[in-house]
């Protein structure tokens, strides 16, 4: 149990005591009580809104109630002071032994410090991410969602959840027929036919040449002049399989592997959309009706068509949504609804990582999941903005259809997996992210990747030097001064960061936290540059050196663990 959990319990015990003596009603103990570090460290180590949360139910002035709570909390041996502030906040200053003990706890737990208890999750959390159309290699437009999804999966697993990583293969749409036709052109080319310029509407990339060559080697000219109906299904299957092999290889360069690959075509062939429709019709959530004309459509040019519609307006959407087209085939939403129903049957919660261009479909799919699961399964959709690439100050354009896009593999090979993964998490995913090839590898404070790696490398170096010294077996942590304990307090926030980031489904919070922790360490290091007495290694004081190295080691452990959750390897030294 970390510091925050322990003091949350201490505050809860004080509130329970107030309920026991009748000061507050028993139901008030369910109030939303928050315990967090104050924004201004001079106010103390922890702050709680307990009195303000309880005041209305207790029919008491918040400051009066805060005074009573503060008096109770001040009696705890680990609380040095408990002061009332503002409208009724309580600021707690903890005994320094609390932070000394937490340094020891970090060292003792190692990589498990901050790890959640898996016992609280009975069913898995399903995270679907990437799910790029299987029409070519991964490009940087896919990269950010891939990293955000994978880091979130690792975060939730570290927080104690049973996580399933899933990729939805969109192999049933018109784009895979276009892919098959593009491969057929390359197949004919491999047989020696001069195909000329790639026709408009087909995929022109050279990455399809090996697929065409493999089919030519296997089938010779059997399908060269054959009608499309003879080869389309075969070429589609083989092309999708080849593209998925390429995608898996590209993702592996980022250290990303999925547990499940679900086929859209297989889900439709199994009758899942029809089953979902039947279930919703039985509950009057699907009906046959017509949609209003599209906005801007000239009325006389529009003819209403009766379609099966899902009552998404019952769940806050602005329109009911068609699940089939006029020809009877499934709309993308109809197929996607069935896919989510299938995922929900094997998961306690769902998370989808989508590109920001899918924002318009979020409300309808969350409505469908709520309807199909009767509110029992939570779906979170995280939208990820595109990455803008820059080289020499100029934007790098990407176009898969033009065949001149920048592949994910090219970028990883140029700057390294760790740099790519870290940079994708340096901003909230809904904000645009600029990726400058020069900036991400420069060794400066402005580069967050370097700044965090540099902190770990500095600590690793000083710890290696410390191993050559004769130091006490037990570090006397009471020798640490106030600034050093402030660094320990920041390192001790790691378990709380894990819980909050996992609950909010926001892995970028780890990168933000690491920037703060690395910055605090560098500040402490620079203090030693200004004053030799403040250096971590003091050859004239073995006890103080041992204490400072224990602190540094705990900080390095937290950095290493947090980077691991992000899928980034901690640097032992910088080249």
Q: Domain with 47 in it: what CATH number?
A: 3.30.1360.70
Q: Give which of 372, 274, 291 is closest to 328, Cα–Cα.
A: 274
Which of 203, 219, 253 is the last residue before a domain boundary? 253
Please state which of the ranges 52-66, 388-402, 428-442, 536-550 shows the lowest mean pLDDT: 388-402
Judgement on whether residues 507 and 556 belong to the same structural domain of the protein: yes
Q: What is the pLDDT of residue 299?
A: 63
pLDDT tens by residue, 328-367: 999 999 999 999 999 999 999 999 999 999 999 999 999 9
pLDDT in tens, 106-129: 999 999 999 998 766 546 899 999
Count of domains observed in the chain: 4
3 state SS of 516: helix
Predicted local distance difference test score (pLDDT) of residue 173: 84
- Please tell me the predicted confidence (pLDDT) of residue 120: 61
Question: Could you tell me if 291 and 307 are in contact, meaning their C-beta atoms sit under 8 angstroms apart?
Answer: yes
Query: Measured on CA atoms in the order 232, 328, 360, 280, is the torsion positive or negative?
Result: negative
* Domain assignment present for 30: yes
Q: Does residue 305 form part of some domain? A: yes
Identify whether 277 is part of a domain.
yes
Give the DSSP letter string of 401-459: TTT-PPBHHHHHHHH-HHHHHHHHTSS-TTS-EEEETTGGG--STT-HHHHHHHHHHHH
Residue 113 carries which DSSP code?
Answer: T
pLDDT at residue 322 in the model: 96
Closest Cα partner for 276 from 351, 338, 211? 338
pLDDT of residue 401: 45
My answer on whether 151 and 242 are in the same domain is: no
Residue 41 has pLDDT above 90, yes or no: no
Closest CA to 502 of 393, 395, 383, 351: 351
The whole-number pLDDT of residue 52 equals 92
Domain end point (choices 207, 233, 253) = 253
Domain annotation covers residue 227: yes
Span 38-54, average pLDDT: 92
User: What is the CATH number for 160?
Assistant: 3.40.50.620
Could you tell me if 286 and 224 lie in one domain?
no
- Residue 342 counted as domain residue: yes
Measuring CA to CA, how many Å separate 452 from each of 142, 372, 430, 491, 570?
Answer: 25, 45, 23, 14, 9
Phi-psi group of 196: left, alpha or beta (phi > 0 → left; psi -120 to 50 → alpha; rest → beta): left
CA 281 to chain centre: 36
Q: How far is CA 193 from CA 65, 189, 216, 222, in A?
A: 87, 5, 12, 14
The 10s digit of each residue's pLDDT in 551-562 is: 999 999 999 999
Q: Domain residues for 239?
A: 174-253
DSSP string, 185-222: HHHHHHTT----SPPTTS---GGGHHHHHHHHHHHTTT
**pLDDT 10s digits, 126-156:** 999 999 999 988 888 899 999 999 999 999 9
Looking at per-residue pLDDT, the higher value among 118 and 563 belongs to: 563
What is the structure's pLDDT at 293?
79
- Residue 182 and residue 283 in one domain: no
Q: What share of the chain is helix, strand, coil (3-state, %, to 5)?
A: 55, 15, 35
Interval 198-221 mean pLDDT: 94
33 and 181 fall within a common domain: no
Q: Do the Cβ atoms of 400 and 203 come closer than 8 Å? A: yes
In a domain, 401, yes or no: no
Distance between the two ends of the chain, CA-based, in angstroms?
Answer: 38
pLDDT of 317 above 60 = yes
DSSP 559: H
- CB-based contacts of 402: which residues, under 8 Å, 6+ apart? 204
- Residue 139 has what DSSP assignment? B
Per-residue confidence (pLDDT) for residue 402, from 0 to 100: 45
User: Which pLDDT score is estimated for 118?
Assistant: 77
Same domain, 153 and 82: no
State whether residue 322 is helix, strand or coil: strand
Give the model confidence (pLDDT) of 498-525 as tens digits.
999 999 999 999 999 999 999 999 999 9
pTM of structure: 0.92
Q: Which residues are CB-contacts of 10 (< 8 A; sequence separation ≥ 6)?
A: 73, 76, 78, 79
Q: Answer yes or no: do 456 and 544 share one domain.
A: yes
For 425-467, what is each residue's pLDDT tens digit? 999 999 999 999 988 988 888 899 999 999 999 999 999 999 9
What pLDDT does 117 receive? Answer: 82
440, part of any domain: no
Residues 295 and 349 in one domain: yes
Is residue 312 in some structural domain? yes
Q: Which pLDDT does position 123 carry in this prediction?
A: 65
**134 and 14, same structural domain?**
no
Q: Rounded distance, CA 184 to CA 459, Å?
A: 57
Same domain, 472 and 547: yes
Give yes or no: residues 330 and 354 share one domain: yes
**Residue range 269-297: mean pLDDT, rounded:** 90
CB 132 within 8 A of CB 142: yes
For strands 46-48 and 89-94, give the pairing. Answer: antiparallel
Q: Please give the Cα distance from 251 to 537 (Å, whole number).
A: 42
- Among the ranges given (25-29, 223-227, 468-472), the one the predictor scored with the smallest mean pLDDT: 25-29
DSSP 132: -
Of the three residues 253, 271, 294, the one that is the final residue of a domain is 253
| Integer angstrom CA distances of residue 178 from 134, 211, 229, 239, 492 | 11, 14, 14, 10, 54
Q: What is the pLDDT of residue 324?
A: 94
CATH code: domain of residue 478? 1.10.730.10
Going by C-alpha positions, the residue among 421, 483, 428, 487 that lies closest to residue 453 is 421
- pLDDT average, residue stretch 181-208: 93
369 and 261 together in one domain = yes
Q: Are 65 and 58 in contact (CB under 8 A)?
A: yes
């Amino acid at each position: 149990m970390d510091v925050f959990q322990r003091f949350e319990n201490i505050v809860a015990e004080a509130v329970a005591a107030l309920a026991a003596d009748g000061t507050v009603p028993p139901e008030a103990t369910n109030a939303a009580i928050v315990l967090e570090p104050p924004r201004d460290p001079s106010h103390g180590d922890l702050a709680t809104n307990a009195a303000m949360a309880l005041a209305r139910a207790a029919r008491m002035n918040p400051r009066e109630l805060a005074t009573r709570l503060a008096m109770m909390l001040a009696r705890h041996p680990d609380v040095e002071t408990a002061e009332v502030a503002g409208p009724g906040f309580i600021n707690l200053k903890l005994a320094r032994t609390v932070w000394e003990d937490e340094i020891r706890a970090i060292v003792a737990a190692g990589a498990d410090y901050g790890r959640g208890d898996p016992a609280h999750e009975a069913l898995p959390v399903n995270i679907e991410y990437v799910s790029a159309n299987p029409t070519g290699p991964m490009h940087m437009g896919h990269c950010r969602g891939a990293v955000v999804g994978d880091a979130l999966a690792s975060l939730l697993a570290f927080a104690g959840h049973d996580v399933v990583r899933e990729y939805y293969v969109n192999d049933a749409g018109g784009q895979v027929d276009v892919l098959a036709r593009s491969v057929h052109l390359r197949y004919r080319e491999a047989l020696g036919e001069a195909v000329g310029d790639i026709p408009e509407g087909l995929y022109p990339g050279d990455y399809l040449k090996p697929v065409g060559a493999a089919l030519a080697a296997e089938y010779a000219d059997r399908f060269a002049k054959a009608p499309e109906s003879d080869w389309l299904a075969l070429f589609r299957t083989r092309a999708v399989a080849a593209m998925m092999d390429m995608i898996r290889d590209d993702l592996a360069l980022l250290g990303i592997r999925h547990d499940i690959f679900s086929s859209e075509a297989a889900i439709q062939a199994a009758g899942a959309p029809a089953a979902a429709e039947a279930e919703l019709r039985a509950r009057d959530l699907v009906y046959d009706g017509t949609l209003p004309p599209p906005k801007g459509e000239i009325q006389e040019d529009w003819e209403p068509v009766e379609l099966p519609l899902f009552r998404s307006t019952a769940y806050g959407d602005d329109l009911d949504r068609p699940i089939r087209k006029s020809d009877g085939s499934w709309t993308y939403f109809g197929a996607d609804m069935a896919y989510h129903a299938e995922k929900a049957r094997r998961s306690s919660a769902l998370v989808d990582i989508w590109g920001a261009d899918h924002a318009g479909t979020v409300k309808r799919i969350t409505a469908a999941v709520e309807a199909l699961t009767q509110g029992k399964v939570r779906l979170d959709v995280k939208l990820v903005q595109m990455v803008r690439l820059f080289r020499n100050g100029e934007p790098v354009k990407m176009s898969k259809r033009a065949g001149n896009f920048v592949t994910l593999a090219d970028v990883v090979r140029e700057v390294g997996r760790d740099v790519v993964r870290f940079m994708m998490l340096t901003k909230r995913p809904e904000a645009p992210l600029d990726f400058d090839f020069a900036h991400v590898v420069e060794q400066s404070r402005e580069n967050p990747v370097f700044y965090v790696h540099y902190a770990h490398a500095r600590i690793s170096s000083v710890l290696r030097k410390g191993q050559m010294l004769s130091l006490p077996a037990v570090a006397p942590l009471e020798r640490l001064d106030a600034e050093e304990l402030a660094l320990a307090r920041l390192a001790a926030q790691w378990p709380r960061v894990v819980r909050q980031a996992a609950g909010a489904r926001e892995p970028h919070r780890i990168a933000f936290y690491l920037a703060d922790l690395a910055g605090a360490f560098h500040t402490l290091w620079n203090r030693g540059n200004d004053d030799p007495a403040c250096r971590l290694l003091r050859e004239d004081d073995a006890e103080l050196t041992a204490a400072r190295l224990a602190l540094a080691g705990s900080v390095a452990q937290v950095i290493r663990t947090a980077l691991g959750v992000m899928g980034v390897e901690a640097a032992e030294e910088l080249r």
